[in-house]
Chains A and B, each alone.
Chain A
Amino acid sequence: MANDVWVYIEHKEGAISPMSFELLGIGKELAAGFGSNLCAFVIGAGVDDLAKEAGAYGAAKVYAVEGDVFKDFRGEAYAKAAAFLLDKYKPEVALFRATTMGTDVAAAAAAQLGFGLCTDTIGLAIDGGKVKMARAAFGGNFSVSVVNEKAAPQIATVRPKAYAMPEKGAGTAEVVKESFALADADVATKVVEFLASASAVNLVEADIIVSGGRGLGNEAGFAMLQQLADMLGGAVGASRAAVDSEWIPYEHQVGQTGKTVKPKIYIACGISGAIQHLAGMRTSDCIVAINKDPDAPIFKAATFGIVGDYKEVVPKMIEKFKGKLGR
Chain B
Amino acid sequence: MKIAVCLKQVPDTEAEVKWDIPKGTLSRDGMDSITNPFDEFALEEALLTKENYDGEIIAISMGPEGAKDVLRNALALTVDETALCCDDAFAGSDTYATAYVLASAIKKAGDVDVVFCGKQSTDGNTGVVGAELAAILGFSQLTQVGKVRSIDAGAKKIVVERAVEGGIEVVEAKLPAVVSVIKGINEPRLPNLMGIRKASKIDIPQWSAGDLGVDTGKVGAAGASTKVVEIAVPPPRGAGEILKGELEEVANMITDKLIDLKVIK
Which residues on A are within 8 Å of B, measured CB to CB?
Answer: 75-76, 79, 99-101, 103-104, 106-112, 114-120, 127, 132, 134, 136-151, 188-197, 200, 202, 204-205, 207-208, 232-233, 249-251, 253, 256-258, 264-265, 275-276, 282, 285-289, 294, 299-308, 312-313, 316-317, 319-321, 324-325
Q: Check B164–A100 contact: CB distance below 8 A.
A: yes
Q: How does the 8 Å CB contact mask read for B242-259 relative to A, with 1 for contact and 0 for none?
A: 110001101110111111
Any chain A CB within 8 A of the CB of B261? Answer: yes
The CA of A141 and the CA of B232, in the complex, are separated in Å by 9
Which residues of the other chain, B, contact A205 by a CB distance below 8 angstroms?
165
Give the residues from 33 to 88 in chain B that come closer than 8 angstroms, CB to CB, to chain A. Answer: 37-38
Question: Which of B165, B227, B251, B257 is the one whose CB lies under 8 Å from A100?
Answer: B165
Prevailing SS type, chain B contact patch: mixed
Minimum CB–CB distance from A311 to chain B (whole Å) comes to: 11
Prevailing SS type, chain A contact patch: mixed
Q: Check B163–A321 contact: CB distance below 8 A.
A: no
Q: Check A189–B171 contact: CB distance below 8 A.
A: yes
Which residues of the other chain, A, contact B259 by a CB distance below 8 angstroms?
321, 324-325
Question: Which of B17, B24, B241 is the one whose CB lies under 8 Å from A141?
Answer: B17
Which residues of the other chain, A, contact B231 by a CB distance below 8 angstroms?
137, 142-145
Q: Check B169–A194 contact: CB distance below 8 A.
A: yes
Which residues of the other chain, A, contact B226 by a CB distance below 8 angstroms?
116-118, 146-148, 151
Interface residues on B, range: 35 or more
Which residues of the other chain, A, contact B132 by a CB distance below 8 angstroms?
107-108, 110-111
Give the residues from 209 to 249 in chain B that come closer than 8 angstroms, CB to CB, to chain A. Answer: 218, 224-234, 236-237, 239-243, 247-248
Which residues of the other chain, A, contact B128 by a CB distance below 8 angstroms?
103, 106-107, 110, 117, 119
The CA of A130 and the CA of B116, in the complex, are separated in Å by 36
The CA of A76 and the CA of B136, in the complex, are separated in Å by 11
Question: Which of A75, A197, A304, A319 is the one whose CB lies under 8 Å from B243?
Answer: A304
Minimum CB–CB distance from A91 to chain B (whole Å) comes to: 16
Q: Check A197–B251 contact: CB distance below 8 A.
A: no
The CA of A256 and the CA of B38, in the complex, are separated in Å by 11
Q: Check A207–B240 contact: CB distance below 8 A.
A: no
Other A-B pairs beyond A202-B165, A205-B165, A275-B13, 19, CB < 8 Å: A79-B141, A110-B128, A111-B131, A115-B225, A116-B96, A117-B96, A117-B226, A143-B230, A147-B226, A148-B226, A189-B171, A233-B264, A250-B183, A265-B258, A286-B261, A289-B240, A303-B237, A321-B255, A324-B259
Which residues of the other chain, A, contact B143 by a CB distance below 8 angstroms?
75, 100, 103-104
Any chain A CB within 8 A of the CB of B192? Answer: no
Q: Check A120–B234 contact: CB distance below 8 A.
A: no
Which residues of the other chain, A, contact B243 by a CB distance below 8 angstroms?
304-306
A303-B170 in contact given A208-B264, A265-B263, A320-B251 (Cβ < 8 Å): no
Which residues on B are within 8 Å of A, measured CB to CB?
Answer: 13, 17, 19, 24, 37-38, 94-97, 99, 122-123, 125-128, 131-136, 139-144, 159, 161-174, 177, 182-184, 218, 224-234, 236-237, 239-243, 247-248, 250-252, 254-259, 261, 263-265
In the complex formed, the residue of A with least CB distance to B243 is A306
Which residues of the other chain, B, contact A258 by a CB distance below 8 angstroms?
183
Q: Which of A110, A148, A299 has the most CB of B within 10 A?
A: A110
Which residues of the other chain, A, contact B172 by a CB distance below 8 angstroms?
189-190, 192
The CA of A253 and the CA of B38, in the complex, are separated in Å by 14
7 example contacts (A-B, Cβ-Cβ < 8 A) are as follows A117-B95, A142-B232, A142-B233, A197-B166, A200-B166, A257-B183, A294-B242
The CA of A103 and the CA of B132, in the complex, are separated in Å by 10
Closest 9 CB pairs between A and B? Answer: A107-B128, A111-B135, A116-B96, A107-B131, A316-B251, A111-B132, A150-B225, A145-B230, A108-B135
The CA of A302 and the CA of B94, in the complex, are separated in Å by 34
Q: Check B141–A143 contact: CB distance below 8 A.
A: no
In the complex formed, the residue of A with least CB distance to B97 is A116
In the complex formed, the residue of A with least CB distance to B255 is A320
